[in-house]
Amino acid sequence: MKDALGSVESVLVLGGGSEIALATVRALVARRTRTVVLAARRPGELESVAGELRAAGATTVETVAFDAQDDAEAHGRLVDDVFDRHGDIDLVLVAAGVLGEQSRDEHDGAAARAVVGTNFLGLVSAIVPCAERMRGQGHGTLCVLSTVAGERPRRSNFVYGSSKAGLDAFAQGLGDSLVGTGVNVVVVRPGFVRTRMTEGLDPAPFATTPEKVAEAALEGIAKGSHTVWAPPVLRYVMSVLRHVPRPVFRRLPL
């Protein structure tokens, strides 16, 4: 159960190897979280992380196989299996995602589809069964890692941006539909975060770290926020950018 100060006892991570997710899970375990299920494409690679979390105080750490590209049926089975075996899951952290390669993806239908298929379709089919189980248990938080890039598609990464925009919109709508059920959806929109995903790229303004994003996400989970910006200033930056006329926006070096 989530407690009065927003700590949770159990978490399922979709995309268990994500650096942002792991920073979040470490912070959770340092508080109260005792059950951690990491769902990832290659669960075997997470064994050392699992050991580290156990040493930090988690009593149950499990790694399970999950590929966002799998079909909806497989996702449903996986989610049911986790909820059945571990009892209530207080928090589902949706972190899987690929950045893709814009210069290729905008010319290659299959590559573009793989990005959208992972970031949007694949996560939607995994989120829906989680939301259903949480409705049934009468409580829970779904925390979805979106991005500022979904706020307004930019020519420099609109394949990724559009896939995240889809996910973001879906999560917001789901959050509204879950009002009154005891289940809350938190959409986290980080800017540039220094992780594997952005390795080799030039940091954008307001670049931040996985630990900072984790902190903001946990605060949002505790508060029951709908949207979390990391760093917070991006909320204002984006609200300006959103209103820049398209011909101008197109020319911005973003």
Partner 1 sequence: MRGNGSRPGGAIPRAAPDLGVADGEPTLLTGWGRTAPTLASLHRPADAEQVAELLAQPGARGLVARGLGRSYGDAAQNAGGRVLSLLDVRGVRGFDPKSGLIAVGAGFSIGDLARLVLPHGWFPPVLPGTSHVTVGGAIAADVHGKNHHREGSFCHHVRAFELVSPGGEQRTVTPEGTPEVFAATAGGMGLTGVVVEATLQLVAVETDRVRVDTERARNLDDVMERMERGDEDYRYSVAWIDCLARGSALGRSVLMRGDHATRAELSGGERSGAALGFSPPRVLSAPPGVPSGLLSTPALRAFNEVYFRRSPRREQGRLEALHSYFHPLDIVGDWNRLYGPRGLLQYQLVVPFGAEDALRQVVERLAGERAPAFLAVLKRFGDGRGMLSFPIPGWTLTMDLPAGRTELAPFLDGLDELVAGAGGRLYLAKDSRLRPELLEAMYPELGRWREVQAGLDPEGVLCSDLGRRLGLGGGSRR
The DSSP code sequence of the chain is ---TTS--SEEEEESTT-HHHHHHHHHHHHHT--EEEEEESSGGGGHHHHHHHHHTT-SEEEEEE--TTS-HHHHHHHHHHHHHHH----EEEE-------HHHHTT-HHHHHHHHIIIIIIHHHHHHHHHHHHHHHT-EEEEEE--GGGTS--TTSHHHHHHHHHHHHHHHHHHHHTTTTTEEEEEEEE--B-SGGGTTSPPPTT-B-HHHHHHHHHHHHHHT-SEEEESTTHHHHHHHHTTS-HHHHHHS--
Q: Which is nearer to partner 1, 43 or 182 (CB)?
A: 182
Q: Which is nearer to partner 1, 51 or 138 (CB)?
A: 138
CA-CA distance, 57 to 241, in Å (whole number)?
43
Structure tokens at 94: 């949706």
Q: Which is nearer to partner 1, 9 or 168 (CB)?
A: 9
Binding mask 122-161 for ligand NAP (x = CB under 6 A): -----------------------x-x--------------
Q: Which of 13, 20, 53, 131 binds ligand NAP (CB under 6 A)?
A: 20
Number of residues that bind ligand NAP (CB under 6 A): 26
CB of residue 7 to partner 1, shortest distance in Å: 6
Q: Does 95 bind ligand NAP (CB under 6 A)?
A: yes
Question: What phi-psi label fits residue 96: left (phi over 0), alpha (psi between -120 and 50 degrees) or beta?
Answer: beta
- Which residues inside 110-139 make contact with partner 1, applying CB under 8 A? 136-139
Binding mask 46-85 for partner 1 (x = CB under 8 A): ----------------------------------------
Q: Does 96 bind ligand NAP (CB under 6 A)?
A: yes
Cα-only R_g, the chain: 18
CA-CA distance, 118 to 139, in Å (whole number)?
27
Q: Does 166 bind ligand NAP (CB under 6 A)?
A: no
Q: Does 180 bind partner 1 (CB under 8 A)?
A: yes
Q: Which of 77, 85, 223, 250 binds partner 1 (CB under 8 A)?
A: 223
Catalytically active residues, by annotation? 160
CB of residue 48 to ligand NAP, shortest distance in Å: 14
Q: Does 105 bind ligand NAP (CB under 6 A)?
A: no
Which of the listed partners (ligand NAP, partner 1, none) does 54 bind, with a CB threshold of 5 to 8 Å by partner kind?
none
CB of residue 220 to partner 1, shortest distance in Å: 11
* Residue among 170, 31, 34 nearest 89 (CA): 34
Q: Which of 219, 227, 235, 237 binds partner 1 (CB under 8 A)?
A: 219
Sites of contact with ligand NAP (CB under 6 A) = 15, 17-20, 40-42, 66-69, 95-98, 118, 145, 147, 190, 192-193, 195-198
